[in-house]
Amino acid sequence: GLSLGAACGPPCPGLPALRLDPKVSRSVLPLSAIFIGMVTSNNLCLKHVGVAFYNVGRSLTTVFNVLLSYLLLKQTTSLYALLACGVIIGGFWLGVDQEGAEGTLSWPGVFFGILASLCVSLNAIYTKKVLPVVDGSIWRLTFYNNVNACVLFLPLMMLLGEFRTLYHFDKLGNPSFWGVMTLGGVFGFAIGYVTGLQIKFTSPLTHNVSGTAKACAQTVLAVIYFEETKSFLWWTSNLMVLGGSFAYTWVKGLEMRKVQEDPNVKSSERNETGV
């Protein structure tokens, strides 16, 4: 679709002509595998928990950022940033406790939420790493990532018996269902493209922080839409997650500014601070 649009449509500097290069596709494959894990764990998390709890269930992305930065990049984290991560973890466990008190806790949902947090963090880091392979083009990265994902999802669906479920699905011929699915696909593509742009021009950290802000708005809208009543401690858990996330951002922002203002710091260290 993107190739056809680039070839037949009016000239557009942001939409290059696309062709499938197996070598590039293999280079993007690790990102595609992480992308599949992210999409799958996100959906499974939402299957087992309410939309309102989704923010808390998915709140450990920043914590995984710190762990992965140490394990993959051998980067250490300052004490203040670690304290902010401690607040996030405290908010996560308080949210889990309050869901249990309300009788709505789902441990599979919590597990998939943690897994989704890990995949989101890995996705942001690997997007930054893979961009040079596609010459920094978000269109090309989106194209290769989606093609790879379509192929990789097939054996996963076969392994989990999803083809039989799909065959017996009673709304397969329902136009309304396909309308909603198409709309969801358009929004999903748009989110993926904008996410890539944000990571390209800022950093994985900035992307994860804006994702936290999005989750906050999502939580409030979900509570209003479903007319739910939540306890004071439940809201406190959300505020702890958000407060810890923004405190971490503030600390890292100060550290990045200090590094950029120091002429003795190497350029590689400047880039690492933004992870």
> Nearest Cα to 237, choosing from 115, 83, 54, 63?
54
Residue 18, domain member (yes or no): no
Per-residue pLDDT of the chain (275 residues; tens, 9 = 90+): 444 344 434 444 555 666 788 899 999 999 999 999 998 998 898 888 887 777 777 778 888 888 888 887 777 888 998 998 899 899 889 988 988 888 888 899 899 989 998 998 898 888 888 989 998 888 888 889 989 999 999 998 899 888 888 888 888 889 999 999 999 888 888 887 887 787 777 666 666 667 766 777 778 888 888 888 888 998 898 888 888 888 888 888 788 788 777 766 555 455 544 55
The pLDDT score that the predictor gives to residue 149 is 92
Residue 10, domain member (yes or no): no
The residue with tokens 């996560």 is 92
* Tokens, residue 58: 């998915």
Residue 4, domain member (yes or no): no
Residue 53, domain member (yes or no): yes
Residue 17, domain member (yes or no): no
The pLDDT score that the predictor gives to residue 5 is 42
Question: What's the domain range around 158?
Answer: 23-162+180-273
Residue 254, domain member (yes or no): yes
Give how many domains the chain has, as a whole number: 1
Residue 154 Cα distances to 22, 130, 146, 157, angstroms: 18, 24, 13, 5
Residue 15, domain member (yes or no): no
Residues 6 or more apart whose Cβ sits within 8 Å of residue 57: 45, 49, 95, 109, 110, 112, 113, 114, 116
Residue 76, domain member (yes or no): yes
Predicted TM-score of the model (pTM): 0.78
State the DSSP string of 26-68.
HHHHHHHHHHHHHHHHHHHHHHHS-HHHHHHHTTTHHHHHHHH
The pLDDT score that the predictor gives to residue 209 is 67
